[in-house]
Chain A
Amino acid sequence: MKEKLLVKNREIVTPGEILAEGMSYLPSGKSAREDEKIFATSLGLVNVKGRVIKVIPLAGRYVPRRGDSVVGKITAISKFGWRVDIKSPFDAELNVAEASNRYIDTKRVSLDKFFALGDHLLAGIIEISESGYIKLSARNRPYRRLGGGIVVNVSPSKIPRIIGKQGSMIRTLKDESKCEIIVGQNGWVWIKGEPEKEMKAIQAIKIIEKESHKSGLTDKVKKMLRGKS
């Protein structure tokens, strides 16, 4: 069979679209091989690097991965830890041993001194099993409890755009809005500052989410945050 690449770099593809023919190309990301053809399995952008064809998804819910730092919400307190909603199909667990660098005596102190029901926190995923068990850690900085502030829900596929190249977008957001902003890989963004500034930062994030594929977005956001309205 002939070797043939059927798509261009950065092209939008839909599920089932054939990307390449021939055995020398390799599928990666949201693509797969069937017989001698490689096809996309999800709506996404094509990224061709040499012989590797990768499809980066444009939509979809958060899929937890080890090493991700996520913004979560405490949904239950058990005897030896917390249950945390991290916007994935499965709840994550935060054990007392992973909550603080100090020793926590569960007989003496109540656990809600550290994280109470409904609290938000920044935590890292340290373990993930095939059966859907997710283990979190909040022992070391920057992982911590997020007191006050607002949490905004963003599509997880737009998170790279909110951070920007080498963090350019998130730096602009923080500098111009004068808010503390923490971006979780799961699509929750925590914002804390003066109430009006918080609202502005939220507006800016909504703009980024809506126009995530347009160029010159950093300047637009800068302009919007400096403007009066």
Chain B
Amino acid sequence: MGKRGETKLIVNGKRLDGRKLNELRPISIKAGVIPEADGSAMVSFGETIAIAAVYGPKKVLPKHLEEPDRAYLNILYDMASFSTSERNRPGPSRRSREISKVIREALAPAILLEKYPQTNIDVFIEIINANAGTRTTAINAASVALADAGIEMRDMVASVAAGKIDGKVVIDLFQDEDNFGTADLPAAVIPRTKEITLLQLDGDLTKAEFKEMRKMVFDACKKISELQRNALKEKYKTESQGGDL
């Protein structure tokens, strides 16, 4: 393929992977994939796969990180060395540290951290396969895992990226669109209150394009949020007939 913005990414009104402009990749969400964790989830958006595990609330170690009035939320985002087409050097990197911070700030407003003072909630996110949109998939997985762990939340955060390819606004970019498109805008949303907790932009947009993207993101996050809830209910569906509690 050619340089950024030179390749045709939309052919006959359809994208290279056959999707419409406002169509999401196939999404699958499964809650409770790691029995030893307090909560866990696996989320895939097309070929991007993220696994999240939640541990806590537990003791804060080292002790100086402890907060007197709320929980200390620790997020660790990591890409597996085999997740990309070119081997990725394992271990923390500048990029993964930055994304961990960004994810923390996207999730924290939705979690009732003040219900767990002087404790630590750990969220570990591993990208098993990367095909663009890893931070948004990671946020979706972490959000389901936190709910699965029984952590109190105001809502479940949903996240998706919008982008611009061939001068058209599209949702949920995959790798080629991310590489050769002209703009990428990952966003995270609290659907119930319509708050935006993550908004990053790489590229140029006009005001009208941004407004269109915002609308697309909110519509898509509504759908994603629905899928997240169904995944959690699915876990208990087979168990929920009768019984006393």
Interface residues of A (CB under 8 A from B): 10, 12, 14-18, 30, 34, 39, 41-43, 45, 56-61, 89-90, 130-132, 157, 160-161, 164-165, 211-217
Contacts and interface: CB of A to CB of B under 8 A. Distances in A.
Contacts of B101: none
B243 interface: yes
Contact of B243 (A14, A60, A214): A214
B57 interface: yes
Interface string B217-244: 0000000010011001100110111111
Contacts of A42: 147, 150-153
B150 A58 contact: yes
B156 A14 contact: yes
Contacts of B242: 213-216
A15 B241 contact: no
Nearest to A35: B193
A16 B228 CA distance: 12
B4 interface: no
Interface of B: 38-39, 56-59, 110, 112, 116-120, 147-156, 190-193, 225, 228-229, 232-233, 236-237, 239-245
Contacts of B191: 16
A38 to B, nearest CB: 12
B153 A41 contact: yes
B38 A61 contact: yes
Contact of B147 (A15, A211, A217): A15
A12 B236 CA distance: 8
Contacts of B241: 213-215
Contacts of B240: 10, 12, 213
A89 B236 contact: no
**Closest 5 pairs (CB-CB, A-B):** A60-B150, A215-B242, A16-B155, A59-B150, A213-B239
Contact of A89 (B119, B147, B229): B119
A40 B156 CA distance: 11
Given A58-B236, A90-B59, A15 B243 contact: no
A130 B225 CA distance: 35
Given A56-B245, A61-B57, A215-B242, A14 B233 contact: yes
A211 B156 CA distance: 26
B117 A217 contact: no
B118 A131 contact: yes
B148 A161 contact: no
B229 A211 contact: no
Residue of A58, A131, A132, A160 contacting most chain B CB atoms (<10 Å): A58
A41 B232 CA distance: 14
Nearest to A131: B118
Contacts of B239: 211-214
A213 B243 contact: yes
Nearest to B152: A41
B233 A12 contact: yes
B156 A15 contact: yes
A60 B118 contact: no
B156 A18 contact: no
B147 A43 contact: yes
B121 to A, nearest CB: 10
B56 A61 contact: yes
Contacts of A45: 245
Contacts of B59: 89-90
Contacts of B154: 15-16, 34, 39, 41
Nearest to A158: B245
Given A16-B110, A60-B38, A213-B240, 5 more contacts: A12-B236, A15-B153, A59-B148, A212-B245, A215-B241
Nearest to B231: A14
A161 B225 CA distance: 31
Nearest to A42: B152
Given A14-B232, A214-B239, A57 B150 contact: yes
A15 B192 CA distance: 10
A44 B69 CA distance: 25
A185 B148 CA distance: 21
